[in-house]
Structure 1
Amino acid sequence: MNRNSTVSFAVPAATFALIIAVLVTELPPGRWPHLPFLPGRMVLDQIGFAFGTAPRIAIALVAGAVLGLSGAMLQAVLRNPIADPSTLGISSGAQLALVVATIFVPDLLVHGRWPIAMLGAACAAAIVFAIGPRRAFAPVTLVIAGMLVSLMSGAIATAITLSQGEYLLSLVIWSGGSLVQQDWSGVRSLGAVLVAGLAAALVLERPLRVLSIGVGGASGLGLNVAAIRFAVLAVAVVLAGAVSAELGLIGFVGLAAPTIARAIGFNSLRRNLLAAPLIGALVLSVCDSLVILLDARLGEMFPTGAVTGLLGGPLLIALLAKLQGSTPPGTENAEPAAARIRHPYRALLLIAALLLVGVVLLLLIGRLPSGWTVLDWEHFMSFLPMRLPRLIAAGAAGAALAIAGALLQRLTANPLASPEVLGVAGGASLGYGLAVFATAAPSALMLNGATVSGGIVALVLVAVFVSRRDMPPERILLAGIAVSAFASSVLAALMATGDPRAWRILGWLSGSSAAIGMTGAVTLAAVAASMWMAAAFAARWLAIMPLGAGVAGGLGVNIPRARLLLILIAGTATGVATIFVGPLSFVGLMAPHMASRAGFHGASQHLHATALIGTCLMVCADFGARMAGFPYELPLGLFASLIGAPWLMATLSRKTG
């Protein structure tokens, strides 16, 4: 028996043993109730066992299988190994709908969360699908549109949650994904969804295999490419939306399950579609069983969805070296390339000049209780010491994050690559959270030191992984995501305990430059400028590496060294920006695409345009955060996403000739 076969038997056996341990912990075997479960014939602890513990174990298996199947289908149709149920904004749409209903129209929840969450997921998917027909549901276009919808939905949901502190605990716990059950209705509902999804997946498996040869070949064989993509995406949306509606947000399982399946040898499409649900069921079941056992020992219950990365992250990293198969990247462009700018460097100078003029105007414009005003010289000088450091910090953070995004997207040739996939933002956030929980009144020095340390540890882990193995780009991304998922799971578990300090962490996660002084702003600007210069010197690598490792190696590029240095530049830029303005790394996702759509295609000009656009985004976002809710400050992240995402969505929606 080979090693993979041993693992295939050992893991389910260990999971079964863990489930039995949970059942024994909850109730001695001699007192287990017999089927059928009739409450009239049971005492109180048996009722809790029959309608609480048993359905919870069952729904963990079913929900994990549903998420695993959804992730496998999304990775197959989008041809992207880091696609998962959050890719199309499904989970974020469900979250936003439930946040709005909970705070503003709670009467809508009388009949449960399912209709509201499914409506939110469907609306998010509909926005993405509205773009699809214009691009024949091209994978990369849908991925970008889905990520933008997810960013906007998440930012709005966070802003609303922060504005209504009395709902914070319940919304945070729901967002963590709780598997607590009171009856078998959830198991029946998700079980029906799983059966229907498996049937649909098996029907669509053959067209998906034909599609894997490429759009041209598939079309030549008579396949309706757009229809097949729409059908697969619709099934994946229903699967992921059903889990979000029933249980809340459960992350990482949909990404990890198909990847782990490929790592242990289930490389063909049919095998992956069948193995991913089984692995997803095992991962989520093990996580939930451990949560229950910890609750029995410590008396503290964590939402299971918040801690899936604690198990899945290390497991994914351990298996990446053995990953034999992969999901081929999409061969289509994210969208038809915009016409090249005839004089790109003149355009860059124009953007820089407009940015400078904009900064001056933002410094001059103010808002008083009586309304908007242009500050006179006296008020201008009074407000300058407060406003100037914020604008410098926001602009520098935007440039740093945008540079990191441009480096990663060119390094990996993956449109989903952004600073958070390195794990640096997740590690820095965890460091900040641990500092908040470590003492009642942490100092600014302690918070900054913990944030820096968390980011450094995460970056070192990914850098060590990259330097020791000649890993293809997709596995570098997966390693960073695994590190980030682990850190995010620990932070989410801390926040879900109900401690009031979770509010402070949530506010920092949404981004703010309010507390920064001139020294910090200048420091951040200096680091951002240094990273900008370092990236500019690497422009030749950035032009060559997207052509593939073979071409780059043939042109004399030392691939492992180049990858490591580019990752260190991107990681340093992300880490420093995170310290000062929070983990607003989605600027690194949007800015490179905005630069491409504006017509900046050469490696050097694209890098400079991306940095300037990132600066503009964050400067405008900081002004909006200060002024829109005057005299209160709103989340910086909300405005950064609301400024950039609609513009980029509009460019994706344009018809092409």
Structure 2
Amino acid sequence: MTSRLSFGPGSLIGLLALAALGLSLSTLALRLPTSLWLEALAAPDIADIRQMLVRYSYAPRLVTSLLCGGALGLAGALLQMALRNPLASPTTLGVSAGANLALAMAMLWAPGLLAVGREWTAMAGGLAAALVVLGLSWSRRLSPLTVVLAGMVVSLYCGALAAMLALFNSHYLAGLFIWGGGSLSQQDWEIPRFLAPRLALAGVAAALLVRPLTLLTLEDDQAKGLGLSVPLIRLSTLALAVALTGFVVGTVGVIGFIGLAAPALVNAAGARRVGPRLLGATLLGAALLWLTDQGVQRLAGDAAEMVPTGAATALFGAPLLLWLVTRLRLSLQRPAGPEEAVRRAARPLVILGGLGLVLVVLLLLSLGIGYGPEGWSVAPDLVPWRWPRAIAALAAGVMLACAGGMLQRLTGNPMASPEVLGVSAGAAFGLILALFVLESSARGTQLGAATLGALLALLAILALGRSRVAVPERMLLAGVALGAMFDALVTGLMAGGDPRAMLLLNWMTGSTYGATATDAAVAAAAAMASLAALPLVARWLDIVPLGAPTSTALGLSPRRSQVVLLVLTAAMTAVATLVIGPLTFVGLMAPHLARFLGLQRALPQLVAAALLGAILMVAADWLGRTLAFPWQIPAGLTATFIGCPALMWLLARRHSA
């Protein structure tokens, strides 16, 4: 439930639409004299290039923004109602990522499918991703945090696969990267003519679902007692949302923020009944994307065709959602964590010793054994070239895992990690500023900027998520918003063609290619310092989850301990992000795997998470440089391929454990 805004949904939609209309008219006036507007729209003079551009580029782009924004707003509202989940959207459930991956795979291996229709390929990919998410979270009765965690894992996996395809097939998929950012550029009326009738049919279908969805707001038993087939209605609603998302992704690419922001804003504005919520989300989504696209065209000028509107949507919409987070009153119910689904380990030292042995063996294999032109071989003479990247990967895994475990205990949120909560995004923001703004790009400057960015992001998220009772969804929304802003910034830089942005893309995938001996030494020293700090803060981490009153009664200052833990987390995240990039998700996976081993006390759990994070990253670095020889897969992507299936397996069996 949300608190009401000072005006209703109609007023909010009207204000956004009025602002978009004003921008549209002013932009059109710059392109063409007012006296020629009607002529250009109705019967343009083919000898006047200005009229032709208005008729076949500007006008269809405006209509496309309205159609796509409305479709995504409606899709997000349908998903949130079907799953009773305020965080559900095409992005958080992996639908957009699955659709984009399906298009990339079809472009490479089955281009004939695209001739049949890109939307069908996108719908198939989105539906497959959604089914995986539902399968992983079904045993938890589709509880909000479990659904979103499964959605993030599936999105990460699909995104990693798409990134790998782009790295190895850049000559085929370079255009797909920019298009996938959500480009609304048009050259004719083909896309609006394609979308309009399909979205109209989807609107009719949504109208027919109003009464069943109203009954679905009741408890399942009550809805069944009134004759409603809950599984059928839920699956039908999900299928409609996937179809709407597939239409959009198949025609203009991924525009991921509208489906989350539009329904949330409509709810905050006071829409409570199903019908007004669906209609309001549709109209508000259309107004949001219309306003954003017009802003892009005014700010970018002649370069507007190269700026993906989907990226700009996040830049404009994320601050709006960050403001909205402070007004949300979300359910305090959350699913049981993994620690409640497993037995406590009887001999934690044996488990830690086994993990340490695995890490040592794996490190020796990584340093001594490789794959070359003559196949697998033992090459001790290559150790001087291999050890910097192996040690850098190990250290980054240790720090991200420790940071993730500390965040999960500090926030009481089983989904917390530097990547999910936007802490890695904050570090990346700092690094981007150091690269693109500051004159000095020395490693020390980059590290300082990344640390400051991580700390500010973490403080912002905790401030936005603060309430009398900690609510995980609030912090997740803040993290989603910050992560979306970072992704949008990188996509915009990529679209601008700056060569530094290409280096940034390579770093984002978690590459250890450029790790030097100095980098490895600094990272190793930071990792050892992180491990040395764990015994000093272990008691705090055992007490902090009990709440401020209990902490004070036990002699612990909640404020002081929180500040120390925040600084430690930010520093570890900054160093690890600088070394390995922001997209490994080791910080999410390793603590969950450690809990699954039965380690529940803070110190053994964090040490096990650190060892597991190191194992994941060392294995990822080794496999990444050997499996596809002579090409190399970035360690961050490889870690995703290793860790995501493990986390999916953990999610799938938590209920039965």
Length-normalised TM-score, structure 2: 0.86
Letter in structure 2 aligned against 1:61: L
Matches within 5 A, 1:24-39: 24-33=29-38
Distance 1:483 1:143, change over 3 A: closer
Aligned to 1:643: 642
Kept after mapping to 1: 8 A contact 2:363/2:618: yes
Aligned to 2:265: 260
Q: Write the distance in 2 (CA, Å) between the matches of 1:468 and 1:646.
A: 32
Query: For each residue in 1:21-60, what CA deviation from the matched residue of structure 2 results, as whole angstroms up to 9, or x when unmatched?
Result: 2333343333234799567999764454344322322222
Kept after mapping to 1: 8 A contact 2:98/2:129: yes
Q: Which runs of 5+ in 2 are unaligned?
A: none
Aligned to 1:325: 329
Corresponding position: 1:633 with 2:641: no
Match of 1:283 among 288, 312, 336: 288
Matches within 5 A, 1:336-347: 337-347=341-351
Corresponding position: 1:368 with 2:372: yes
- Residue 577 of structure 1 deviates from its aligned partner by 0.5
Corresponding position: 1:158 with 2:157: no
- Residue 94 of structure 1 deviates from its aligned partner by 1.6
Distance 1:476 1:36, change over 3 A: closer
- Residue 161 of structure 1 deviates from its aligned partner by 0.9
Distance 1:92 1:399, change over 3 A: same
Aligned to 2:452: 456
Kept after mapping to 2: 8 A contact 1:261/1:272: yes
What is the DSSP-based 3-state SS (H/G/I as helix, E as strand, rest coil) of the residue aligned with 1:584? coil
Kept after mapping to 2: 8 A contact 1:65/1:194: no
- Residue 337 of structure 1 deviates from its aligned partner by 1.1
- Residue 96 of structure 1 deviates from its aligned partner by 1.5
Aligned to 1:97: 102
What is the DSSP-based 3-state SS (H/G/I as helix, E as strand, rest coil) of the residue aligned with 2:496? coil
Kept after mapping to 2: 8 A contact 1:33/1:42: no
Match of 1:205 among 178, 201, 213: 213
Kept after mapping to 1: 8 A contact 2:258/2:288: yes
Distance 1:173 1:469, change over 3 A: closer
State the identity as a percent. 40
What is the DSSP-based 3-state SS (H/G/I as helix, E as strand, rest coil) of the residue aligned with 1:420? coil
Query: For each residue in 1:438-495, what CA deviation from the matched residue of structure 2 results, as whole angstroms up to 9, or x when unmatched?
Result: 79xx99x546634641552353254256459844454344334333332332221110
Distance 1:19 1:228, change over 3 A: same
Deviates most, 358-367 or 330-339: 330-339
Corresponding position: 1:426 with 2:425: yes
Deviates most, 479-488 or 166-175: 479-488
Corresponding position: 1:171 with 2:176: yes
Query: For each residue in 1:182-236, what CA deviation from the matched residue of structure 2 results, as whole angstroms up to 9, or x when unmatched?
Result: 212244156336514642663443244224xxx7888899976655554444343
Distance 1:43 1:57, change over 3 A: same
- Residue 179 of structure 1 deviates from its aligned partner by 1.1
Deviates most, 67-76 or 149-158: 67-76
Query: For each residue in 1:277-312, what CA deviation from the matched residue of structure 2 results, as whole angstroms up to 9, or x when unmatched?
Result: 333333222210011123436666311001112211
Match of 2:200 among 192, 197, 218: 192
Distance 1:362 1:41, change over 3 A: closer
Deviates most, 471-480 or 86-95: 471-480
Query: For each residue in 1:306-343, what CA deviation from the matched residue of structure 2 results, as whole angstroms up to 9, or x when unmatched?
Result: 1112211222333433x043355544667971333222
Letter in structure 1 aligned against 2:153: L
Distance 1:236 1:539, change over 3 A: farther
Q: CA RMSD in A?
A: 3.7
Distance 1:2 1:326, change over 3 A: closer
- Residue 248 of structure 1 deviates from its aligned partner by 0.6
Q: Write the distance in 1 (CA, Å) between the matches of 2:404 and 2:275.
A: 34
Q: Write the distance in 2 (CA, Å) between the matches of 1:591 and 1:220.
A: 44
Deviates most, 33-42 or 475-484: 33-42
Matches within 5 A, 1:193-592: 195-196=203-204, 198-199=206-207, 202-211=210-219, 229-266=234-271, 272-296=277-301, 301-321=306-326, 323-326=327-330, 328-331=332-335, 337-375=341-379, 380=380, 382-433=381-432, 445-446=441-442, 449-450=445-446, 452-454=448-450, 456-457=452-453, 459-463=455-459, 466=462, 470-471=466-467, 472-473=470-471, 474-499=473-498, 501-534=500-533, 537-543=536-542, 546=545, 563-592=562-591
Q: Which runs of 5+ in 1 are unaligned?
A: none
Distance 1:305 1:325, change over 3 A: same
Q: Write the distance in 1 (CA, Å) between the matches of 2:195 and 2:553.
A: 55
Match of 1:88 among 86, 93, 98: 93
Q: Write the distance in 2 (CA, Å) between the matches of 1:233 and 1:168.
A: 30
For these two proteins, the number of residue pairs brought into alignment is 645
Distance 1:476 1:151, change over 3 A: closer
Aligned to 1:4: 7
Distance 1:325 1:145, change over 3 A: closer
Q: Write the distance in 1 (CA, Å) between the matches of 2:554 and 2:19.
A: 50
Letter in structure 2 aligned against 1:390: R
Letter in structure 2 aligned against 1:202: V
Kept after mapping to 1: 8 A contact 2:17/2:291: no
Letter in structure 2 aligned against 1:293: R
Query: For each residue in 1:110-143, what CA deviation from the matched residue of structure 2 results, as whole angstroms up to 9, or x when unmatched?
Result: 3442222222222222333444555544544443
- Residue 623 of structure 1 deviates from its aligned partner by 0.4
Q: Write the distance in 1 (CA, Å) between the matches of 2:301 and 2:393.
A: 46
Q: Write the distance in 1 (CA, Å) between the matches of 2:403 and 2:101.
A: 28
Letter in structure 2 aligned against 1:519: T
Query: For each residue in 1:135-194, what CA deviation from the matched residue of structure 2 results, as whole angstroms up to 9, or x when unmatched?
Result: 544544443333222222211211111112323530221121101232122441563365
Distance 1:326 1:271, change over 3 A: farther
What is the DSSP-based 3-state SS (H/G/I as helix, E as strand, rest coil) of the residue aligned with 1:419? coil
Kept after mapping to 2: 8 A contact 1:422/1:480: yes
Q: Write the distance in 1 (CA, Å) between the matches of 2:554 and 2:281.
A: 39
